[in-house]
Chain A
Amino acid sequence: MKHMTEEELIAYREGVAAAQRAVIAQHLAACEECRAELERIEAVLAALDTLPVPNPGDDYGRHVWQQIAPRLPERPARWWQEWFEPKRLGTLAAVAVLLVVAFLAGRITKRNHPGNDVATKEQIRERVLVVAVGEHLGRSEMMLVELANAEPLDPKQKRVDISAEQHRAEDLLEENRLYRQTALKEGDASLASVLDDLERVFLDVAHSPEEVTPAQLEKIRQKIEARGILFKVRVVGRELQERQKATTPAPAQKDSMKSERNKV
């Protein structure tokens, strides 16, 4: 008889195995060994349940209100006001700069190609996305390389401070999610898949302690290596550069040279 794995038993005990619940229950009814294993898991969880939580008192709600009431603004903010919070202003500024660059790029391109086909909205959008994602991958690559080379400042120290990489991972995470969703919407599955892998790494790094032991750091590195993230990021980055070149029309001079050659 094939026994249940520890994961399956934990999933059953914690109620996260809805699909297999009946199968596991049936197996447990027939298998003493798995029942004993489940009992051992339950014993640990039951012991943890004995840890007390202090009762904050019947008037705790009133106490919380008294503490926070003087700090509450007159009215709650409307959803759009959040966009003007200081922490979001950086993102807004970056988006604005990108739009201006895209606009100017479009104008210059047009000027250099009098009479040529005007780039469609889709082409411009793709160009902006390609440039933005390319830059994002560049920053991500830099963060991964720094993480790969992180060492304790003092060789005698037993821990490595990765707080800088962690904060960058947190910043990159939000951007990454946005680009992944856009890539999915645009039907670019391979880009979305790389961004998905990248997101997992950012999450791992963001959720790690700020100071890690060399062994923990090695584990993070191994995960990055096992998924081949750095390689994928470089390959996709290069592909995007190529796409950028392809979507950017060649300079007018070259075109005129080509037409000159064609005349001969």
Chain B
Amino acid sequence: MIRMQPSVENTQTIADSDAVAVERTLAGDRDAFRVLVERHSHNVFRLAYRMTRNRPDAEEVVQEAFLRAYQKLGKFEARANFGTWVYRIAANYAIDRMRQRKKEEARKVEPAVHEEGTENDPVTLIHDAAPTPERLTQNIELRKRMEIALAALSHSERTAFVMRHWEGCAIEEIAQVLESSSGAAKNTVFRAVQKLRLALQPFVGRGTQARAMGTES
């Protein structure tokens, strides 16, 4: 899991300081909310990017998440963790955004006449972007496959996978976002990993395996 895990003491200090900022915001000090935005924006961006898989949408999710958090701050329980709470709001909005995006794309894309044999090849659906440093990977083909495999997951599966595998969220947090039971959230994580495995295992080379196991020198 990639989520940065701050020390327990650090987490507690941040949470205490967040609680003070929330109280001050509720008392009418808007600048106190600025502290919260500046403190949590990076984490929320990372989650949003992993879910939406594109930067403009991720940035929109971040802004909307903080706007919604501000509007709903009266409902925030003082005992809760602001970081986790805004995370949840962002994940919910990212799901909405993904749905919306799918609809927009369906409207834009006319049913294309495919060349014979390419219709079902998902690689043809990926747009080749300019090779910015971000987009450069050692294995372009594998990267494309990974993007396709992630895009092929349902919104719930992608949310569950991103939140669990990359963000290290508790199953209960994921269940709340998916509005399901913990058991169902767990199953969604399994399903996501199974689908990703099915799609990617044939393309995962020995080099990657070695790296994954930490055996490559």
- Flag if B154 contacts A77 (CB, 8 Å): no
Q: Contact string, B174-198, partner A, CB cutoff 8 A, digits 1/0?
A: 0000111000101001100110110
- Assuming the contacts A54-B134, A76-B26, A79-B74, asked whether A207 and B156 have C-beta atoms less than 8 A apart, the reply is yes
A25 at interface by CB-CB < 8 Å: no
CB<8 Å pairs between A and B, sample of 26: A10-B189, A10-B190, A10-B194, A16-B171, A42-B213, A43-B201, A47-B146, A47-B204, A49-B166, A51-B147, A51-B150, A54-B55, A54-B134, A61-B39, A64-B62, A65-B34, A69-B30, A79-B74, A79-B75, A163-B103, A173-B179, A200-B184, A207-B156, A208-B154, A209-B99, A209-B154
Task: Tell me which residues across on chain A come within 8 A of B166, comparing CB atoms.
Answer: 49
Task: Tell me which residues across on chain B come within 8 A of A208, comparing CB atoms.
Answer: 154
A67 vs B42: C-alpha distance when bound (angstroms):
15
B208 at interface by CB-CB < 8 Å: yes
A49 vs B45: C-alpha distance when bound (angstroms):
17
- Flag if A48 contacts B146 (CB, 8 Å): yes
Interface of A, secondary structure class, is helix
B83 to chain A, nearest CB (A): 13
B212 at interface by CB-CB < 8 Å: yes
- Flag if A82 contacts B179 (CB, 8 Å): no
B211 at interface by CB-CB < 8 Å: yes
B95 to chain A, nearest CB (A): 8
User: A51 is contacted by which of B1, B146, B189, B204 (Cβ under 8 Å)?
Assistant: B146
B116 to chain A, nearest CB (A): 17
A28 vs B155: C-alpha distance when bound (angstroms):
33
A40 vs B198: C-alpha distance when bound (angstroms):
11
B residues in contact (CB < 8 Å) with A: 1-2, 25-26, 28, 30, 33-34, 37-42, 45-46, 49-50, 55, 59, 62-63, 66-67, 70-75, 99, 102-103, 106, 134, 137-138, 142-143, 146-147, 150, 154-156, 164-166, 171, 178-180, 184, 186, 189-190, 193-194, 196-197, 200-201, 204, 208-209, 211-213
A263 at interface by CB-CB < 8 Å: no
User: A72 is contacted by which of B30, B99, B178, B197 (Cβ under 8 Å)?
Assistant: B30
- Flag if B72 contacts A76 (CB, 8 Å): yes
A11 at interface by CB-CB < 8 Å: yes
Task: Tell me which residues across on chain A come within 8 A of B30, comparing CB atoms.
Answer: 69, 72
A73 at interface by CB-CB < 8 Å: yes
- Flag if A71 contacts B67 (CB, 8 Å): yes
Find the residue from B70, B178, B180 having the highest chain A CB count within 10 A.
B70
- Flag if B63 contacts A64 (CB, 8 Å): yes
A7 vs B55: C-alpha distance when bound (angstroms):
33
A211 at interface by CB-CB < 8 Å: yes
Kindly report which residue of chain A lies nearest to residue B75, judged by CB atoms.
Answer: A79
User: B212 is contacted by which of A15, A43, A210 (Cβ under 8 Å)?
Assistant: A43
- Flag if A76 contacts B70 (CB, 8 Å): yes
A residues in contact (CB < 8 Å) with B: 6-7, 10-11, 13-16, 39-54, 56, 60-62, 64-65, 67-69, 71-79, 81-82, 163, 173, 200, 203, 207-211
A97 to chain B, nearest CB (A): 26
- Flag if A49 contacts B2 (CB, 8 Å): yes
Kindly report which residue of chain A lies nearest to residue B41, judged by CB atoms.
Answer: A61
A13 to chain B, nearest CB (A): 8
- Assuming the contacts A45-B212, A65-B37, A68-B67, asked whether A14 and B75 have C-beta atoms less than 8 A apart, the reply is no
- Assuming the contacts A54-B49, A72-B33, A203-B180, asked whether A11 and B38 have C-beta atoms less than 8 A apart, the reply is no
Task: Tell me which residues across on chain A come within 8 A of B164, comparing CB atoms.
Answer: 14, 16
B180 to chain A, nearest CB (A): 6
